[in-house]
């Protein structure tokens, strides 16, 4: 990032920070954020067994804390550089906001549903991935029924847990830090992702029709092609950097 770009970024962030202090702008952003939450927390209402009133109050609360977190996450740039003291303060503020949100959700839901909330949070990324795949199928004219969506979601959740363990094992075996280790880790990550995709397809094979399975496989194949290209580019850039440093 050159000086002009850094200056533009600093101006943009400062403007956003100032706009969020304006009550009308903040109210509009809060409403905008609130509208997106049912999509970014797919299946939450059913997973926790929330009533419409509970769901509304929870989403209202989450929208407010999400906006607080966004405000606290904006880095303070001085002469195009992140101010380290401000960054540490930002981390402290984000931790406080997270604790406050946890306490507020606990107060709203009670201990039993709060435990369900925590379990949901651990699977949220997988649920979002399943929703994205569902949207891909719908766009292709092959929408999933609720009965088909459930095994896809279950498969993604199971694979998330397995992949976390596999990635931890890969880090132990390969190590990290050197350019070679990073390249090997990227290749291993791609291999694990491809194995995950095969298992997901196997898990939903009896629930989806042939065309739906074909679309899912094509989507996974496209992702793999992009990941391989990204790995090659990263290797080339690392080699060029090493070459320039050696000259």
Q: Which tens digits make up the pLDDT trace of 61-108?
A: 999 999 888 888 766 555 556 667 777 888 899 999 999 999 999 999
* pTM for the structure as a whole: 0.75
Residue 162: is its pLDDT beyond 90?
A: no
Two structure tokens written together for 30: 């809060």
Radius of gyration of the chain, Cα coordinates, nearest whole angstrom: 22
Give mean pLDDT, residues 43-53: 94
Tell the burial category of 99 from Cβ atoms under 10 Å away from its Cβ (0-12, 13-18, 19+). Answer: exposed
Residue 203 phi, psi (nearest 5): -70, -30
**Residue range 2-12, pLDDT digits in tens:** 555 555 555 66
More confident residue, 18 or 196: 196
- In the block, tokens 């954020």 appear at 33
Q: What percent of the chain has pLDDT above 90?
A: 55
The residue among 241, 202, 197 whose CA lies nearest residue 223 is 197
Average pLDDT, the chain: 85
152's enclosing H/E stretch is helix 146-174
Rounded Cα–Cα distance for residues 54 and 72 (Å): 27
Average pLDDT value for residue range 153-181: 76
pLDDT at site 77: 52
Most confident of 65-69, 117-121, 174-178: 117-121
Give the pLDDT band (50/70/90) at residue 133. very high
Q: What angle do helix axes 84-139 and 52-73 make, rounded to 10 degrees?
A: 130
Higher pLDDT, residue 42 or 240: 42
Percent of the chain with pLDDT over 70: 83
Greater confidence, 29 or 71? 29
Residue 110 has pLDDT above 80, yes or no: yes
Mean pLDDT to the nearest integer, 159-182: 72
- What pLDDT score does 80 carry? 53
CB 96 within 8 A of CB 126: no
Q: Is the pLDDT of residue 37 over 70?
A: yes
């Amino acid at each position: 990032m050159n000086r002009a770009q850094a200056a533009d970024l600093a101006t943009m962030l400062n403007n956003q920070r100032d706009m969020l202090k304006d009550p009308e702008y903040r109210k509009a952003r809060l409403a905008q954020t609130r509208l997106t939450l049912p999509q970014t927390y797919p299946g939450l209402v059913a997973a926790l067994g929330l009533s419409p009133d509970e769901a509304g109050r929870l989403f209202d609360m989450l929208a407010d804390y999400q906006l607080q977190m966004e405000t606290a996450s904006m880095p303070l740039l001085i002469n195009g550089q992140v101010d380290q003291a401000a960054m540490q303060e930002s981390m402290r503020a984000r931790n406080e906001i997270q604790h406050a949100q946890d306490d507020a959700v606990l107060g709203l839901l009670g201990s039993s549903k709060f435990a369900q909330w925590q379990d949901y949070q651990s699977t949220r990324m997988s649920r979002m991935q399943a929703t994205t795949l569902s949207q891909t199928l719908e766009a292709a004219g092959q929408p999933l029924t609720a009965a088909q969506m459930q095994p896809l979601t279950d498969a993604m959740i199971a694979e998330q847990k397995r992949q976390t363990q596999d990635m931890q094992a890969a880090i132990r075996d390969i190590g990290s830090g050197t350019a070679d280790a990073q390249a090997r880790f990227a290749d291993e990550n791609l291999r694990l992702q491809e194995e995950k995709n095969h298992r997901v397809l196997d898990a939903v094979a009896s629930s989806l029709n042939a065309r739906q399975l074909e679309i899912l496989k094509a989507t996974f194949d496209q992702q793999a092609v992009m990941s391989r290209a990204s790995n090659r580019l990263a290797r080339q850039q690392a080699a060029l950097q090493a070459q320039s440093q050696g000259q």
